[in-house]
Amino acid sequence: MNEQQFDKYLHIKTVGEQYGFPKLAHYHRYEPTPYNGLEQLFAIYEMPNDPVFIDMGCGKGRVPIYVHHQFHIPTIGIEMDAGFYAEAEENKRSYLQKKRSHAPITFIHTIAEAYEIKPRDNVFFFFNPFSIHIFRTVIQNIWQSYEQKMRDIHIILYYPPYDYLQFLHQGTPFELLHEVHLENETNMNERLCVFELKKA
């Protein structure tokens, strides 16, 4: 299925050109994650036990809704932009009318670094949503949560910036678990990297 067909299948509206610039300088503008990339990722990648999936900078909610539909697990989308948050909530309403599930799907209107990491949160998805300064703060929040409740935690990076990768490799105990180079892409940055922090 192409992007439009996938949206129609999920009863959501997330296709469109990137637009709008955030009010905060360290945040990047919206661009939806390609469904094809998500399909290639989950063809080889398995989430940890009892996953709770967090999308940091979820835009209109495509990734949390897709993951919710595919795996019937709790998903959470964090979005700072009020307009995108409202669209994500509308997409959730439309999706749940047709796709019933007992697992919750939640959207939260806040900046990523203000989100309080819950003890069950263990899969974090980033599509280059903000600067390395914000990314470091979010990873520090995840680490503090890990120290309070040790568990397997995964970080998924789509189109990972070099400074994100350098920080995870050199500044954290996270280890590279998977690297998925997307099919039919000539840009080497068009890939997904999954990092893992194992329960001690």
What pTM does this model have?
A: 0.92
Q: Where are the domains of the chain?
A: 50-197
In this predicted structure, the answer to whether residue 19 has a pLDDT above a threshold of 70 is no
In this predicted structure, the answer to whether residue 199 has a pLDDT above a threshold of 80 is yes
Q: Which residue has the higher pLDDT, 189 or 23?
A: 189
Rounded CA separation 51/160 (Å): 22
Mean pLDDT along residues 5-24: 76
Mean pLDDT along residues 42-67: 96
What pLDDT is recorded for position 163? 93
Rounded CA separation 98/101 (Å): 10
Task: Return the DSSP state at 27.
Answer: B
In this predicted structure, the answer to whether residue 46 has a pLDDT above a threshold of 60 is yes
What pLDDT is recorded for position 186? 66
The reply to whether CATH 3.40.50.150 applies to domain 50-197 is yes
Rounded CA separation 53/83 (Å): 22
Q: With contact defined as beta carbons under 8 Å apart, do 80 and 109 qualify?
A: yes
Half-sphere exposure of 64 (CA within 13 A, CB side): 30
Average pLDDT of the chain to the nearest whole number: 90
What pLDDT is recorded for position 29? 63
In this predicted structure, the answer to whether residue 24 has a pLDDT above a threshold of 90 is no
